[in-house]
Amino acid sequence: MPSENSQTPNVNDFSIHVATINGSGSQTSNNVLMRTIFQMGVPVSGKNLFPSNIQGLPTWFTIRASKHGYIARRKEVEVLVCMNPETALDDLKALPPNRVCIYDAPLKLSNKRTDCTFFEIPFARLVAEIPETDARLKKLLANMCYVGVAAELLGLDLAESEKALMKHFKGKTKPVALNMKALNLGVDYVRKTYPKAQVPYRIERMNATGGKIIVDGNMACAIGALMAGCSVIAWYPITPSSSLVESFIDLAKKYRHDPQTGKATYAVIQAEDELASLGMVLSAGWAGARAMTSTSGPGISLMAEFAGFGYYAEVPAVIVDVQRVGPSTGLPTRTQQADLLEVAYLSHGDTKHIALLPGTVEECYSMMQDAFDLAERFQTPVFVLSDLDLGMNNWMADPFPYPTKDFDRGKVYTDADIEKLRAAGKKFERYRDVESDGIPWRTLPGNPEEGGSYFTRGSGHDEAARYTERPEEYQRVMDRLARKYETAREWVPKPELTGGPVADIGIIAFGSSHTPVLEAMDQLSADGIRTAYLRLRALPFHRSVQEFVALHPRVYVVEQNRDAQMLKLLKADLPAELCTRLRSILHYDGLPVYADAIHEGIKRMEVPQRVVSGGKGPGTRGEE
């Protein structure tokens, strides 16, 4: 429902799109603008669209205010702020009619279209008035100035902006004052130049964000790792994963040093590459530490060999993949869910992995903890598949609850256990299935009890961890590994059902597609189509996935990749007769999927004469 420029203003239900240049400090202003709305109690989300370079290229930031609490990306924009000469014409062209455009005066946009309301602001001239600032700071302040303009036009509470600045500058009053000055210059200029201006978009106080936090998924993962007692991280920088580890470092510096000695209860190792990262993580996990790495697609590819070792030698490890657009280097600063097939079967030979699929920042937090527990319980690499949208964008959330469960350190024989075994005339055998759940017992290096040691290898081994090439011994271990994987189905986070149980169609999605799906469900419901939505939260699939598919004649699998990767994994796992029900909604242009795309994709296939879409232009692709 695009809000038209009518008499009744659109309150708390529109998007602001800010086009700037990266490296110009627009990040701060964008955050202050977003926080101002948030602090006014209005649900809000912010998506940063930035280039894969450091300075000088176009960047966009979209803030969505939604009284309904929709925090997914919207494609439509109501208020456009043009600060970047390079993209201004294109940005303006994409604006629907009757919207508002604020622009930097030299861009002279007002004569390009007549169907928009323009606000021309001479930002540079305005901030020139502020004394004692260098060129770089001037640029920053010009950006802050646009916040003032927007505040005045949209009815924002400047006190909240000041609070946001205080937060940003950690209470340092000087920069806050300076920025408030720039902000007020914007306010004053609008009041003076456009005294009667009335834009049809307003932010009004609500009470929907009280007590909430704003956080990105990488920070949420970092907090999760911190609370999970992660003690060794080996990593190699890569966008969009780096900030996860960097956030962990910041947190750990504060919360993970021994109060007496000041010494660290964690080690963060910047490795020379991703092969080394995973090698370090595996041996640390093998030696008993809770160890993890974080990377993105190219790093995952480099980890393929070691991942297979971890699977076969049964070594715990947590591997976060903050997915970006592939293939290859692809678009490092765009989002996609296209590493599923790679991760599910990573490495040569018969390997299959456990993977968790957080769909919210809350789950980034909780699933990092699950991941460590599962890695140690199942003695295997556990992947956490986040993505750039989830990981690097700002999401509103309830504060994370303190964990209620103790660490699950899995089946580890202590010295005493080994001694007991020996006393009972038994022997520790590393790869024996003692409880018939496929999970063997392990010991840790430095175990001083005789008979407690074993030799770990990626080559053929029998149940006592001895080298073997005997067919039956090899196969016995492989069959147990398959059994272990089956056990995992009941241990991993279960899928989450929304809507239903009676519904016309089913929707399956996962990860960052979650919020757009929720919004699309409302849209479909408005069209009279009742939906039930199962959100996958892990590989391997829980049996409820099968039950869900069996309940619905058609199930739409929404995913952000070209090759319908999750659908392929579902087909591989589900009974064949159920697979006929599955249909694909694909979105893979690098921007987060949005509700309209899902809504339209499903509607198109649900109307009686089905329209089969082929190699159409960009956007979302529906396929049967």
**Residue range at the interface with ligand TPP (CB under 6 A); choices 126-134, 234-242, 491-499, 552-560:** 234-242
Q: Which one among 37, 271, 354, 374 touches another protein, defined by CB under 8 A?
A: 271
Q: Residues touching another protein: how many (CB under 8 A)?
A: 91
Q: Mapped to the 3 state alphabet, what secondary structure does 569-606 carry?
A: HHHHHCCHHHHCCEEEEEECCCCCCCHHHHHHHHHHHH
Query: Least Å distance between CB 23 and ligand SF4?
Result: 8
Site for another protein in 329-358 (CB under 8 A): 329
Q: Which of residues 290-309 bind a copy of itself (CB under 8 A)?
A: 296-298, 300-302, 304-305, 307-309
Nearest CB to ligand TPP, comparing residues 133 and 239: 239
DSSP β-bridge partners for residue 623? 584
Q: For residue 502, with 0-12 CB atoms within 10 Å meaning exposed, 13-18 middle and 19 or more buried, which class applies?
A: exposed
Piece in contact with a copy of itself (CB under 8 A), picked from 333-341, 406-414, 490-498, 545-553: 333-341
CA atoms within 13 A on the CB side of 285: 37
Q: Which is nearer to a copy of itself, 530 or 562 (CB)?
A: 562
Site string for ligand TPP, 290-309 (x = CB under 6 A): --------xx--x-------
Q: Closer CB to another protein, residue 304 or residue 488?
A: 304
Q: In this structure, what DSSP letter does residue 609 have?
A: S
Question: What does the alpha-carbon distance between residue 198 and residue 164 come to, in Å, rounded to a whole number?
Answer: 26
Binding to ligand TPP, residues 269-288 (CB under 6 A): 274
Shortest distance, CB of residue 278 to ligand TPP, whole angstroms?
Answer: 12
Rounded-to-integer distance, Cα 474 and Cα 483, Å:
15
Site for a copy of itself in 507-566 (CB under 8 A): 561-563, 565
Q: What is the largest CA-CA distance in the chain?
A: 92
Beta carbons of 573 and 540 less than 8 angstroms apart: yes
In this complex, which beta carbon is closest to ligand TPP, that of residue 237 or of residue 451?
237
Q: How far apart are CA 470 and CA 531, in angstroms?
A: 53
List binders of another protein among 281-300 (CB under 8 A): 281-291, 298
User: Do the beta carbons of residue 461 and residue 440 sit within 8 Å?
Assistant: no
Least distance in Å: CB of 507 to a copy of itself? 18
* CA–CA distance, 493 with 136 (Å, rounded to integer): 48
Coil, strand or helix: which one is 126? helix
498 is a site residue for another protein (CB under 8 A): no
The 220-259 contact track toward another protein, x by CB under 8 A, reads ---x--xxxxxxx-x-xxxx--x--------x--xxx-x-
Report how far residue 285's alpha carbon sits from residue 412's, in angstroms, rounded to the nearest whole number: 12
User: Which residues lie across from 270 on neighbouring strands?
Assistant: 235
Rounded to an integer, what distance in angstroms lies between the CA atom of residue 430 and that of residue 466?
9
Q: Which is nearer to ligand SF4, 52 or 301 (CB)?
A: 52
Tell me the residue nearest to ligand SF4 as measured from the CB: 54
Handedness of CA 158, 159, 162, 167 (dihedral sign): negative
Contacted entry of ligand SF4, another protein, a copy of itself, none for residue 285, CB cut-off 5 to 8 Å set by kind: another protein
Residue 239: CB minimum distance to ligand TPP, A: 6
Q: Beta strand pairing status for 394-397 and 213-216?
A: antiparallel
Closest separation in Å from C-beta 54 to ligand SF4 = 4
Would you tell me which residues interact with ligand TPP (CB under 6 A)?
236-238, 274, 298-299, 302, 329
